[in-house]
Structure 1
């Protein structure tokens, strides 16, 4: 059986552990059941959640049995960890719908079967929902000293600033009860999560010890950061990269990885790729020798996009990326992929039925050129393209026949500056 602890350590995926030596010994004895929880606080999981799912996948590939827990109950409350203010509460109907969507996302990334390492999904609403308040207070609440809960960093920081409701104060009890319930039902001995979850994870370990006199473990991963100081998993405008293709297109998802900073790509390969140490070191070496070729970024983008969205969507994203820069046929791209690609670049929007302006006007209105005169100079110098065809005249006007799918034009200035035009539907 693969030594998963050594692999996680090399990939810099271990931040904290209750007892790494004991955990290593437990994992060496045979398949261990472990879990990670995902609260439905949005209609989709994001890249931070992907890291945690892939940790479960690594344990599964090493022969262990992962459980993906969806917080049908805890999602109704919201985890205060890392939050500076109280969350808004979502309706039961909304949370239930999000539970189903998240269930599907997790299930696509783990292998579900009846074998000793077959994954499965649960919702904590199954055991929390039927429980009365009195049962919860007697069976769970009595094991949590208030002074210890008040000493938690999350609680202290909130009490010193915006305050905290009893609802969020009680979140740690619910998550701890999840670990206890999975320990009882499935012999679950390990919970994983991000380093911001350390207090919640260890509270569950302590509850198992107090109630069942059992031994369990907690393991967290470090907070992932970017070399340029911006937050991992966010666009330049602060928008989140989601796993749902309707919220973040496979093209945008692919481009996130392809555009990874050279200083970050080795870290990303370790965390999100399933390539071996030797393969990753070779990719990083190739990247250092030929940085313009973006060899490690390309490998990373293809692997992770295929993992999350499938081979066909990855192929479409690659085809769109190549076609935008004149290395493929734009008319072969389907409308959804083309629209997603152009959503990532500066573009001009035209009303339905509006006559097409000149190329110079479009270059200026899209933002590829600062002014119409600058656009005319770019055309005169041979550096302007419409649908990858060089524009020969400063007064050129696109034809309606040039519109891809009857709606789009791809503009390019020079080799790398891409823009677009979108005509609204009539």
Structure 2
């Protein structure tokens, strides 16, 4: 990507929600390589896919020659950002934040290049400067530059103040100043001139720009990215079964792969623009032909593969594809033992048994049938499979050949209903 037209490209990809002094910023990055930053508070032991957009955007800037700085909020995570939160966050323990920080740094490290010379990515922690500051210095040197009138009129704060059942504590109210100070310190020490973040961070980013202008008399810039929501209004990355995490122990690669594979069709080409490095013109051509030869299905599959490999690597993508082939394409010959273990973990219904009398009993135990009579009718009607092989014998009894790796049997009713039997 050519750094000369980087902002134009971000616009084409619908990546810009807010931007300050666009013409000046465009001129600045045309003539110079800049340093920019994005902050991540370790409020859990993993990032989720809502964090992917800022990480990938940092990567776009780095590819264009700019220096990305990741700021871990070791201090601010002790406070909690109230931006558009309906209620007060639970305060996290210091030791938990320390552990979570290590895990999140490891995840972030796979997205950016930390060994590419002059624009190598940098990770910092705001705990470094907040630990050295006392409350009197902060209130005297930083607090005096902020008007309470302005702060309480920020939309995110106003929403909480108007809710008498929740309100907002002074702890969370002070978060805006802390993030502003982060921008000030990074501008002073690392010459950071641009902060990026989600659109809910606009108030915090603006506060940092204000502080730098008041103290240093410098012009800096802010750019926010769209917060993605689904058609039901739910935040992108969260489903009825929970958040889609980047940690494979919390959301396995197969489940991650299926999340992208099951997105609504209306999002496919928007997501190709937002999350991938495919050329915008190519995406436009694909979108124009989306109903020809099932193009949209191929593009959704491309997105699923691309995102899974980006986050989990080739090996885990292969595992996710194998499991998908097993469940949907009935290709069970290529399955590995680890795939069965992942399949069991992924929310596919499973049972552990020592002995089962016959197939009818198994169908009832697996909740694929409500009674033995219903199970028998299902078998006779040719809708039951064991390890992708149709079974029509209503009195079928399991044998050793049904136990893959002497441990697992995949029992299926039709194409969409499965249960994994784990023989003990």
* TM-score normalised by length of structure 1: 0.93
Q: Shift in Å at residue 346 of structure 1?
A: 4.9
Deviates more, 1:2-11 or 1:72-81: 2-11
Pairing partner for 2:87 from 53, 67, 85: 85
Q: Shift in Å at residue 315 of structure 1?
A: 1.0
Matched residue, 1:37: 39
1:9-408 mapped onto 2 (5 Å cutoff)? 9-161=11-163, 162-237=166-241, 239-285=242-288, 287-291=290-294, 294-330=297-333, 332-335=335-338, 337-344=339-346, 346-351=348-353, 353=354, 355-369=355-369, 371-408=371-408
Deviations 1:259-284 (A, max 9, x none): 12111111111111111113323443
2:422 pairs with 1:423: yes
1-structure distance, mates of 2:423, 2:98: 35
Deviations 1:191-237 (A, max 9, x none): 00111110001100111101110111011111212235443112233
What's the C-alpha RMSD, in Å, of the aligned pairs?
2.1
2-structure distance, mates of 1:157, 1:394: 62
Note if contact 1:345-1:419 (Cα within 8 Å) is conserved in structure 2: no
1-structure distance, mates of 2:172, 2:259: 34
Deviates more, 1:194-203 or 1:293-302: 293-302
Matched residue, 2:410: 410
Note if contact 1:205-1:217 (Cα within 8 Å) is conserved in structure 2: yes
1-structure distance, mates of 2:205, 2:244: 26
Query: Against the structure 1 CA distance between its residues 228 and 297, is the aligned structure 2 distance closer, same or farther, given a 3 Å change threshold?
Result: farther
Query: Against the structure 1 CA distance between its residues 134 and 246, is the aligned structure 2 distance closer, same or farther, given a 3 Å change threshold?
Result: same
Matched residue SS, 2:410:
strand
2-structure distance, mates of 1:377, 1:82: 53
2-structure distance, mates of 1:385, 1:345: 20
1-structure distance, mates of 2:407, 2:141: 62
Query: Against the structure 1 CA distance between its residues 358 and 4, is the aligned structure 2 distance closer, same or farther, given a 3 Å change threshold?
Result: farther
Note if contact 1:18-1:202 (Cα within 8 Å) is conserved in structure 2: no
Deviates more, 1:371-380 or 1:33-42: 371-380
1-structure distance, mates of 2:162, 2:370: 49
Query: Against the structure 1 CA distance between its residues 231 and 114, is the aligned structure 2 distance closer, same or farther, given a 3 Å change threshold?
Result: closer
User: Where do 5+ consecutive residues of structure 2 fail to align?
Assistant: none
Query: Against the structure 1 CA distance between its residues 422 and 381, is the aligned structure 2 distance closer, same or farther, given a 3 Å change threshold?
Result: closer
Count of residues in Structure 1 that have an aligned counterpart in Structure 2: 420
User: Where do 5+ consecutive residues of structure 1 fail to align?
Assistant: none
Deviates more, 1:83-92 or 1:321-330: 321-330
